[in-house]
Amino acid sequence: MFYYPPNTQYIQEGTEFTIDDVQYPPNWLNLSTPEEKAALGIEEVITIGYPANQTYYWVTETLSEATLTYTNTPKDLDQCKALAISQVNSTAYSLLLPSDWMVTKQVETGTPVAPDWNAYREAVRTTANLAKQEYATCTTVDEIAAITIPWPTAPNLPQSPAPVV
């Protein structure tokens, strides 16, 4: 985004605009040089901060002349913990659901579940339990937001390659 101070005008890339009765095409900002923009008095809007995950933060943005400022205010810690734990449960359920029929078939017919599927299902449950414990011990919303969960890959999907050492 760009700012034209004389008119307090904001100009989005890819849109046409008019300055001093001269109409500029939608691609002008993309094709012009910094010197050409400066000659017209157009300033690029500078961003301060970044929008955080709105699941855990109230995000406000303030646009003042050529500065866009993001302010991230943490939401209630206990609500964030509960939401994160709920999301873990939901994800684990979604990952296990497609293979539940295998367990049902084993119970009904005695046909064993393939070992790789048993290992996968156990890994999903273990990952979920560890993630819930990690969320429960967080003391700040920043800690909650920083957690990434390494969910296992189902045996019928391509496996991630091992890192090259």
54 plus 68 within the same structural domain? yes
Bridge partners, 70 (sequence order): 61
Residue 58 lies in a domain: yes
Predicted TM-score of the model (pTM)? 0.75
7 plus 47 within the same structural domain? yes
pLDDT-derived band at 161 (thresholds 50, 70, 90) equals low
9 plus 60 within the same structural domain? yes
61 plus 90 within the same structural domain? no
pLDDT digits (tens, 9 = 90+) for 88-143: 999 999 999 999 999 999 999 999 999 999 999 999 999 999 999 999 999 999 99
Cα 158–159–165 angle (5° rounding)?
140
Dihedrals phi, psi of 70, to nearest 5 degrees: -100, 135
pLDDT value of residue 158: 84
62 plus 93 within the same structural domain? no
What span, in angstroms and rounded, lies between the C-alpha atoms of 25 and 48? Answer: 29
pLDDT-derived band at 159 (thresholds 50, 70, 90) equals confident
Residue 138 lies in a domain: yes
46 plus 69 within the same structural domain? yes
Please give the structure tokens belonging to residue 65. Answer: 């002349």
126 plus 138 within the same structural domain? yes
Count of domains observed in the chain: 2
46-48 and 57-64 strand pairing: unpaired
Q: Work out the average pLDDT over 7-25.
A: 95
User: Domain of 113?
Assistant: 77-146
Residue 161 lies in a domain: no
Residue 155 lies in a domain: no
Does residue 81 carry a pLDDT above 70?
yes
87 plus 59 within the same structural domain? no
pLDDT value of residue 91: 98
Residue 152 lies in a domain: no
Residue 6 lies in a domain: yes
Q: Work out the average pLDDT over 60-86.
A: 97
Residue 97 lies in a domain: yes
Strand order in the sheet with 67-74: 46-48, 67-74, 57-64
88 plus 65 within the same structural domain? no
pLDDT-derived band at 163 (thresholds 50, 70, 90) equals low
Residue 9 lies in a domain: yes
141 plus 88 within the same structural domain? yes
What span, in angstroms and rounded, lies between the C-alpha atoms of 70 and 72? Answer: 7
